Copies of this chain bind each other. A is one copy, B any other.
Amino acid sequence: MSQPAESTKAILKSYAGRYVTLGDEAFEALWSALEHRTVARKEYLLEPGQVCKSQYFVLEGCFRSYYLDQKGNEQVMHFAIEHWWMTDYDSLSNQKPSELYIQALEPAVVLEVELDVLSGLFDRFPMLERLFRIIAEKTFVAAQKRLQHMLSLRREEMLDTFEEGTLAFSDRVPQYMIASYLGFTPEFLSMIRARRRKSGN
């Protein structure tokens, strides 16, 4: 399950290198601050009421975040797979109780870094703060696109756009969670899928 540390290190180095140029000292400091953690299928990294204290970099596996709406239904907010970060920014930044569950959908491995440890790293290595500024901006842009799709696309187009963007993982996630993410009922998603199978698309 777990990868050897050296290959994990190369993954993280290559990830960071896409956005910033980290000196060896900054990279080693980040590496040392990360806790390697295995997560069982269905295990939670965060539950409502807890104050989120970490950011998680997914090495293996697939996660979702969700909340329970007023009727007690699960509403999926995000998915995360290999080499994506996962956290609850609202709870983390404001140190207030979360409304979200963050749950592994498969046996998983994450690198965890705690808020206070990361803040200490930002003081010592501004380039790490730059990396996390860029990550926050990219996370916002993704949310903005999703808003745009919800406001402007017909529902079948939303499904197409989701599938194009998630070729890497949409078959790893139960259909009812994809329906929830898109704001569909599971029945509506099944109906589109069935219609497409019939017409050969």
Contact = CB atoms under 8 A, between A and B. Distances in A.
A148 interface: yes
A89 B138 CA distance: 8
Nearest to A130: B129
Given A126-B126, A129-B126, A133-B132, A89 B150 contact: no
Nearest to A73: B152
Contacts of A139: 140
A93 B145 CA distance: 14
Nearest to A145: B90
A187 interface: no
A144 B93 CA distance: 14
A75 B137 CA distance: 22
Contacts of A137: 89, 93, 136
A147 B89 contact: no
A122 interface: yes
A63 to B, nearest CB: 16
14 contacts: A69-B152, A70-B152, A75-B151, A75-B152, A77-B144, A89-B137, A89-B141, A93-B137, A93-B141, A132-B133, A136-B137, A139-B140, A143-B143, A147-B147
Given A77-B144, A90-B141, A126-B129, 14 more contacts: A70-B152, A89-B137, A89-B141, A90-B144, A93-B134, A93-B141, A122-B130, A132-B133, A133-B133, A136-B136, A143-B143, A143-B147, A147-B150, A150-B150
